[in-house]
Structure 1
Amino acid sequence: MANIDVSLKEMLTIDGAIGAAVADYGSGMALGTLGGSKDLDLQVAAAANTEVVKAKLRAMDALKLSDAIEDILITLSTQYHIIRPLAGRGGKGLFLYLALDRNRANLAMARHQLRAIEDKLEI
């Protein structure tokens, strides 16, 4: 099992990773961040993406979908942003956030690796 710091380090080893965060979508607070750049403030990204998660949960509720969000993908012209709500082991209300350089990342592999990191994360 891995803690938040170890998980963030693993997230940054994913090809194309720019920045990573573990955040609470109830409060908008980042529990931990690693990486980022002058153009990617991970504290701001974590807070802003809480609204994305909440909006999707509201939409699912309105549609009466009884499914769970596996991940939310935002595709930009130069980046991929993956939001992965945590399931199980005390992770309810938290999500992993990973920003990738689109030219260096393999999206399918990144999603696979992020799922494996989630499985090892102990909150």
Structure 2
Amino acid sequence: MANTEASLKEAMTIDGAIGAALVDYSSGMALGTIGGTKDLDLDVAAAGNTDVVRAKVRTMEHLGLQEEIEDVLITLGSQYHLIRLLTSASDNGLFLYLALDRGRANLAMARHQLKRIENQLEV
């Protein structure tokens, strides 16, 4: 099992990684961040993506969908933003956020690696 710091460091080894965060979407607070740029403030991204996750969870409830959200993908011109909701009972209310350079990233591999990181994460 890996702690938050080790998991975020591992996320930064994913091809094209720009920044990563572990976020509590009940509060919008980042529990840990790594990377980022002058144009990508991870604390702002954590708070903003909390709204995205809450909206999607609420929409699924309204639709009566009884499924778990695996991840949410936001595609920009030069970046991918990947939000992976943690599914274990002890991690309820948390998500991993990963920003990727679209020109250097392999989205399928990034999703696979982020799932592996989630499975090893112990908060």
Question: How far does residue 89 in structure 1 lie from its aligned partner after superposition?
Answer: 4.9
C-alpha distance in 2 between matches for 1:60 and 1:88: 19
> Aligned pair count?
123
- What residue in structure 2 maps to residue 30 of structure 1? 30
Letter in 2 for 1:53: V
TM-score (norm 1): 0.99
Are 1:17 and 1:99, in contact at CA under 8 Å, matched by a contact in 2? yes
Are 1:25 and 1:95, in contact at CA under 8 Å, matched by a contact in 2? yes
Show structure 2 runs of 5+ residues with no match: none
- What residue in structure 1 maps to residue 8 of structure 2? 8
Are 1:19 and 1:33, in contact at CA under 8 Å, matched by a contact in 2? yes
C-alpha distance in 2 between matches for 1:63 and 1:38: 39
- What residue in structure 2 maps to residue 57 of structure 1? 57
- What residue in structure 2 maps to residue 96 of structure 1? 96
Show structure 1 runs of 5+ residues with no match: none
Is structure 2 residue 108 aligned with structure 1 residue 118?
A: no
Instruction: Tell me the SS of whatever aligns to 2:23.
Output: strand
CA RMSD in angstroms comes to 0.5
Instruction: Tell me the SS of whatever aligns to 1:68.
Output: coil
User: Where does 1:44-83 land on structure 2 (aligned, <5 Å)?
Assistant: 44-83=44-83
Instruction: Tell me the SS of whatever aligns to 1:100.
Output: strand
C-alpha distance in 2 between matches for 1:60 and 1:73: 16
Letter in 1 for 2:67: D
**4+ residue runs over 4 A deviation:** none
Q: Structure 1's 96 and 10: CA in aligned 2 closer, same or farther, altered over 3 A?
A: same
